[in-house]
Amino acid sequence: MKAEYKNWVPEGMIKGAAAGAASLAFCAASAALTASTRTFKKEKAVFQAAAGLCAAGAAACGALMGWGTWAHDQFSYDGSRMLSRDIVEGVADYVLIPDGGVGLDVGCGSGALTIAAAKRNPNARMVGCDRWGIEYASFSRELCERNARAEGVENVSFLKGDAVELPFEDESFDTVTSNYVYHNISGKNKQELLLETLRVLKKGGTFAIHDIMSPARFGDLGDFLDRLRIMGYEQAVLIPTDNGKFMSKGEARSLFLSGSALLYGKK
């Protein structure tokens, strides 16, 4: 049995774009045909305008389908680039759990980072949590558990939990990690979300949180690092990963990952 980590570009999105392109192209052709049969100028113009609009929509859906197909291949664990794997493995390299300790992966999706971190820390345990079932329909707790079995990894467990209000006591974990989760959570202050994750980290524990940490999404993270230091954190740094570390600048731009960075440190 092979682990199936699925894809950050859902197949449903590509199929939806393809269906949209096909139906809009059909509408454009029908409207153009109808326009050609009309003799009244005004009527003709209305159908011609409708044909133009549908054709533009079809082109936009076609472009989305093309980009989605390419991006899906770039991210895929079976694709030509395997970018998701490189990023997950890159983050997992920063997840260090003391023997007998427990680490948390927030927004674990299909379990890729939880499992990669568990493999690197065989004498510790990893817990993966996710709210599942809202976006990324193919990710689930059952999928995570299947993937752990497929990888022969036993020091993991998975449970449902919302990053906005994690179902854990303060200072429950020796390490916390996460990959590309907080930018998905709309309407919430991203720095507050980071603090909620850090709340469940023990004093002296390490954190490795990777996301698209652009100022537009996360605000001034320089100030945030200062805030952590004032709160008594031993170390807090922001390591850009869109500069060749995990991906090239060009890849980041074309995959909408510019601003990717790893928030790393010790509480």
Ligand X SMILES: C[S@@+](CC[C@H](N)C(=O)[O-])C[C@H]1O[C@@H](n2cnc3c(N)ncnc32)[C@H](O)[C@@H]1O
Q: Answer for the pair 92, 112: CB distance below 8 angstroms, yes or no.
A: no
Give min distance, CB of 140 to ligand X, in A: 9
Give min distance, CB of 217 to ligand X, in A: 14
Give min distance, CB of 37 to ligand X, in A: 49
Give min distance, CB of 221 to ligand X, in A: 20
Query: For 19-33, b where at least 16 C-beta lie within 10 A, e where not — what string?
Result: ebbeebbebbeebbe
Give min distance, CB of 164 to ligand X, in A: 5
Listing DSSP states for 118-174 in one string gives HHH-TTSEEEEEE--SSS-TT--HHHHHHHHHHTT--SEEEEE-BTTB-SS-TT-EE
Using the minimum distance from each CB to ligand X, give the nearer residue, 83 or 181. Answer: 181
Using the minimum distance from each CB to ligand X, give the nearer residue, 47 or 132. Answer: 132
Task: Report how far apart, in Å, the C-alpha atoms of 242 and of each of 26, 113, 123 are.
Answer: 41, 19, 32
By CB under 6 A, name the binding residues for ligand X: 8, 88, 107-110, 112-113, 130-132, 136, 139, 162-164, 179-181, 184-185
Dist. CA 32–CA 9, nearest whole Å: 34
Task: Report how far apart, in Å, the C-alpha atoms of 187 and of each of 140, 164, 217 are.
Answer: 24, 11, 10
By beta-carbon distance, which residue lies closest to ligand X?
Answer: 109
Strand partners, 165: 162
Using the minimum distance from each CB to ligand X, give the nearer residue, 171 or 196. Answer: 196
Using the minimum distance from each CB to ligand X, give the nearer residue, 104 or 221. Answer: 104
Using the minimum distance from each CB to ligand X, give the nearer residue, 51 or 178. Answer: 178
